[in-house]
Amino acid sequence: MSKTDELTKTYSGIFGNQVTLRNRRGKSVMTMPPARTINPASEKQKIVRERFRLAAGYARLAMENPELKAIYAARATKNMTTYRLAVQDFLSPPFIRQIDPSGYKRKPRRHHSGGSRRQLSGHPGNGDHPQR
């Protein structure tokens, strides 16, 4: 470890609005501070920020769960922390390649011809499904 790392390993934050010190995997990293905007957020930006807030909450909980943390740690790489993997996992919808209906035991329902079908509250057919 260099002398610089020894001096800065316990420090983090913005210094003089010009340099940000961060600690990543035991190494000190100097970066530019994040850019701040004075413009109000659009509705789309608010939605994206809310998704990231939820993803960060999921990642924090995942890091507190030893089983989940071990799963993410097994997939982590040099540049991808377990926390970032958990955030990415939350933000990425699952992709279903195949469904095996062989274990399905319910008999198909008979539909009545003619009459109108009722729309149930919360049923995707009536537009009540959650937005992504």
- Could you list the pLDDT tens digit for every one of the 132 residues in the chain? 455 556 555 667 777 777 787 777 677 777 777 777 888 999 999 999 999 999 999 999 999 999 999 999 999 888 888 999 999 999 998 889 998 888 888 877 776 665 555 554 444 444 444 444
**Looking at residue 115, what is its pLDDT?**
53
Q: Record the tokens describing residue 82, joined without a space.
A: 């377990």
Query: What is the DSSP code string of 3-57?
Result: HHHHHHTT--EEETTTEEEEEETTEEEEEPPPP---SPPPHHHHHHHHHHHHHHH
**Looking at residue 1, what is its pLDDT?**
46
- DSSP at 63: H
**Looking at residue 123, what is its pLDDT?**
43
**Looking at residue 74, what is its pLDDT?**
94
